[in-house]
Chains A and B, each alone.
Chain A
Amino acid sequence: GAGVSQSPSNKVTEKGKDVELRCDPISGHTALYWYRQSLGQGLEFLIYFQGNSAPDKSGLPSDRFSAERTGGSVSTLTIQRTQQEDSAVYLCASSLSSDSWNTEAFFGQGTRLTVV
């Protein structure tokens, strides 16, 4: 597609339920990033995929969070046993490569997750 697409745009879930957030990166982009934007806070790095390399999971806040990227394209961020503090906007971004200085990350519009 023309840009990074995220679905759903909004998700309301009950505390304790699992949720899956989807990201479709720009075609041909090998790098994919997930960030979290909580109310009143900046953007927090969660995880990053680069090609076939092992993902950098250093930003995942707990073992309830996981992400996968199938076929080097679509990515799914899964949050198990959601808590109220998980409420945030989850942003996905993609870039051509993480190896070149002459690239930039393009962001999707995000998924607003509300845990009630």
Chain B
Amino acid sequence: AQSVTQLGSHVSVSEGALVLLRCNYSSSVPPYLFWYVQYPNQGLQLLLKYTSAATLVKGINGFEAEFKKSETSFHLTKPSAHMSDAAEYFCAVTPGGGFQKLVFGTGTRLLVSP
């Protein structure tokens, strides 16, 4: 079975600071991993995905994530936060070999202060 743990329900950063959102996964098979972003009153938008190709994945809006099998992690980073990055971020996992039902973490709300 697959599961995802997101450490920190809220993360606060200053504009221009590094963003680091943590995600650890558990999977009995090679996983596919995803980060989604949800802006207020909107649906989820895919930021990036890992599907067993390159371990460093670049996504939209300057975000990237690195798959580290030894640490079972897929942390999301961005070098410099913008005010517009304030949103809720969800990490998700699905068993490799096909895009089946996603198992989501509980989400991390990113707060960006001026």
Contact = CB atoms under 8 A, between A and B. Distances in A.
B61 interface: no
Which secondary structure dominates chain B's binding surface?
Answer: loop
Nearest to A45: B101
B99 A31 contact: yes
Interface size class of A (residues with CB under 8 A): 20 to 34
Nearest to A6: B43
Interface in A19-45: 31, 33, 35, 41-45
A103 interface: yes
Interface in B76-114: 90, 92, 96-107
B41 A33 contact: no
A42 B91 CA distance: 10
Given A4-B43, A41-B106, A42-B107, A101 B101 contact: no
Contacts of A109: 41-43
A104 interface: yes
A95 B34 CA distance: 14
Interface size class of B (residues with CB under 8 A): 20 to 34
Nearest to A93: B44
A98 interface: yes
A74 interface: no
The 10 residue pairs across chains A and B that have the minimum distance between CB atoms: A42-B106, A107-B43, A43-B104, A107-B44, A109-B43, A101-B51, A42-B104, A45-B101, A98-B99, A48-B101
12 contacts: A33-B101, A42-B106, A43-B107, A45-B102, A45-B103, A59-B101, A95-B99, A98-B98, A99-B99, A104-B34, A105-B46, A109-B42
Interface of A: 4, 31, 33, 35, 41-45, 48, 56, 59, 91, 93, 95, 97-110
